[in-house]
Amino acid sequence: MKVISQGTPPELQTYTAACGKCHSVLEFQKNEAQVKSDRNETMYVLSCPVCRNEIWIASQALKPVMQGTDFRDQPFQPK
């Protein structure tokens, strides 16, 4: 078997979030956030390292960091 494009295991996936107070852009893994349940939704809570503001992110709103391993978005370049 040949790996064409190597992915990232879910536990190592990195995500981005922006602080609404100081506008810092953060990169984090799920294990760095507190997991809280809010009604019927799972929320991830981060503390901004710049201003200490709490950042609440719904699980559906997590934005993974784009990895450069997906060859489908790159133009075909014959050798």
Instruction: Confirm whether pTM is higher than 0.85.
Output: no
Query: Is 7 within the bounds of a domain?
Result: no
**Widest Cα–Cα separation across the chain:** 55
**What's the domain range around 43?**
13-64
- Residue 7 is predicted with a pLDDT of 84
DSSP secondary structure letters along 31-57: GGSEEEEETTEEEEEEE-TTT--EEEE
Please state the rounded mean pLDDT for residues 68-79: 60
Q: Taking residues 53-71, report their average pLDDT.
A: 80
69 is a domain residue: no
Q: Residue 68 pLDDT > 80, yes or no?
A: no
Look at residues 10, 14, 4, 19 and name the one whose alpha carbon lies nearest to residue 64: 14
In a domain, 6, yes or no: no
21 pLDDT band, cuts 50/70/90, is very high
pLDDT at 40 over 70: yes
Name the residue with tokens 């078997």.
1
Question: What confidence tier does 70 reach under pLDDT thresholds 50, 70, 90?
Answer: low
Q: How many domains are contained in the chain?
A: 1
